[in-house]
Structure 1
Amino acid sequence: MTRELSQEVIAHIKQLEGFRSEAYPDPGSRDGTPWTIGYGQTRINGRAVRQGDTINEASAAAWIERELLRVSAVVERLVKVELTDNQHGALVSFTYNIGDQAFADSTLLRKLNAGQYDAVPAQLARWKFNDGKVMEGLINRRASEAGLWARGGFASSNTVAAQPPKEPSAIDAIVKDPGGLAGIGAAASGLIGAIADQPILQIGAVVLIGVLVWRFVIARKQADPA
């Protein structure tokens, strides 16, 4: 049974794609191919989309929902570790964008199947090129997919039962460490340095660092009320 996608995830992917009623050329390719229509649709009526094709929103929405179910089955087959609904949805969005074979051959999938969940956001961020050029739209999309991947922790679905985290999070480990602030500083320096060429991810990193500092202060107050 194919894992169903929540309406929230479907809406998230539709927002990333954006709806276009008229066919338009790929902005990153030299010759404009593949032409696209609807919500990222490159084929219509059994053939490639071409200039002059049109589609209404209802037809495009029905098409992408069918296609996302197909992609969901591909992700479910290729990923060998457990995923939350949001993690699964992030990979469906990613695979819908880059293609089944590219996902199957990706370092991201290899690392994930080795249990390296924390490697996924950085691997997503690598996929920012189209025809050899860095695309701002792809940078934004990967940041959005990384955000979806990180959202919500453990979620209940038809395939993954709701459960608490099995181990303390990295954040908890830092805030409980007497040298926590030093740890936060070191982590912040390393994180921002690793994404120096990705301003959108840097904004997310600053927000994360703020959360770390806030949790550190709260944890310290709880541990020592005086």
Structure 2
Amino acid sequence: MDLKSKVVGGVVAAAVALVATWEGRSLVAYLDPVGIPTICDGYTHGVKMGDTATPEKCDELTSEEVKKALAVVDESVPRQLPDGARVALASFVYNVGAGAYSGSTLLRKLRAGDIVGACRELPRWVYAGGRKLRGLVRRRNAEMKICLQ
């Protein structure tokens, strides 16, 4: 394995760990705070109430989705971001989705080269279904700290 592969693997592993810390894991589908059927570590694509998953399946889904989120981050800016920013922003995109990220002030600041300003946008993203959620406040503060490292 070459150095670049090791670095990418390390960023993915760190982002998976961050996502897992904040999402929590459920092997049985549940409704998230805004009523979306969810399973594993916040996975929502095609999930129906009554679905179940194994821990191994959850690991696979989370890793695949984190890699997709990281690709969204990496492809959204013209230059390589520091690893801390990539980890934090992959966690953020995993949680809010590529669509919300793509239209954000956070991304506009990133593209302008203002990484610090972009990282400081994270704490604004603490609402779900119009309600401020304490878990999101804590998650965004943790993401911001990692992003600023």
TM-score category, normalised to shorter length: 0.7 to 0.9
- Is residue 105–residue 118 contact of structure 2 (8 Å, CA) maintained in 1? no
Pairing partner for 1:25 from 31, 40, 47: 31
The correspondence for 2:42, drawn from 40, 61, 74, is: 40
Q: Deviations over 1:135-161 (max 9, x none)?
A: 11111110111121123xxxxxxxxxx
In structure 2, the partner of 1:4 is 8
Identify the residue that residue 61 of structure 2 maps to in structure 1: 63
2:73 equivalent in structure 1: 75
What TM-score do the two structures reach when normalised by structure 1?
A: 0.59
CA distance in 1, matches of 2:25, 2:121: 27
Q: Is the 8 A contact 1:22 1:38 kept in 2?
A: yes
> 2:14, 2:87 within 8 Å by CA — same for their partners in 1?
no
> Residue 28 of structure 2 contacts residue 50 of structure 2 at CA under 8 Å; is this kept in 1?
yes
* Per-residue deviation, 1:122: 2.6
Q: Specify which structure has the bigger relative contact order, considering alpha-carbon pairs within 8 angstroms and separated by 6 or more residues.
A: 2
* Secondary structure in structure 2 of the residue aligned to 1:147: helix
Q: Distance in 1 between matches of 2:9 and 2:133?
A: 27
**What is the SS of the residue equivalent to 2:120?**
helix
> SS of 1:110's equivalent?
helix
Residue of structure 2 equivalent to 1:142? 140
The structure with more radius of gyration = 1
For 1:4, what is the secondary structure of its paired residue? helix
The one-letter amino acid paired with 1:103 is Y
Percent identity over the alignment is: 34
Give the letter aligned to residue 8 of structure 2.
E
Runs of 4+ in 1 over 3 A off after TM superposition: none
Distance 1:5 1:126 in 2: 29
Q: Mapping of 1:59-208 within 5 angstroms? A: 59-151=57-149
C-alpha distance in 2 between matches for 1:104 and 1:86: 20
User: Structure 1 residue 5: deviation in Å?
Assistant: 4.3
The answer on whether the counterparts of 1:22 and 1:55 sit within 8 Å (CA) in structure 2 is yes
Q: Distance in 2 between matches of 1:104 and 1:142?
A: 18
Q: d(CA) in 1 for partners of 2:90 and 2:63?
A: 12
Distance (whole Å) between structure 1 residues aligned to residue 148 and residue 9 of structure 2: 17
For residues 70-124 of structure 1, what are the alpha-carbon distances to aligned partners after superposition, in whole Å with 9 as ceiling and x for unaligned? 2211111112233111111111000111111111110001012112122123310
Q: Report the Cα distance in structure 2 between the residues aligned to 1:9 and 1:133, rounded to whole angstroms.
A: 26
Q: Bigger shift: 99-108 or 4-13? A: 4-13
Cα deviations across residues 171-221 of structure 1 (Å, max 9, x unaligned)?
xxxxxxxxxxxxxxxxxxxxxxxxxxxxxxxxxxxxxxxxxxxxxxxxxxx
CA distance in 1, matches of 2:67, 2:115: 23
1:5–1:85 CA contact under 8 A, matched in 2: no
The count of residues paired between Structure 1 and Structure 2 equals 143
Query: Quick one: distance in 2 between partners of 1:55 and 1:36?
Result: 11
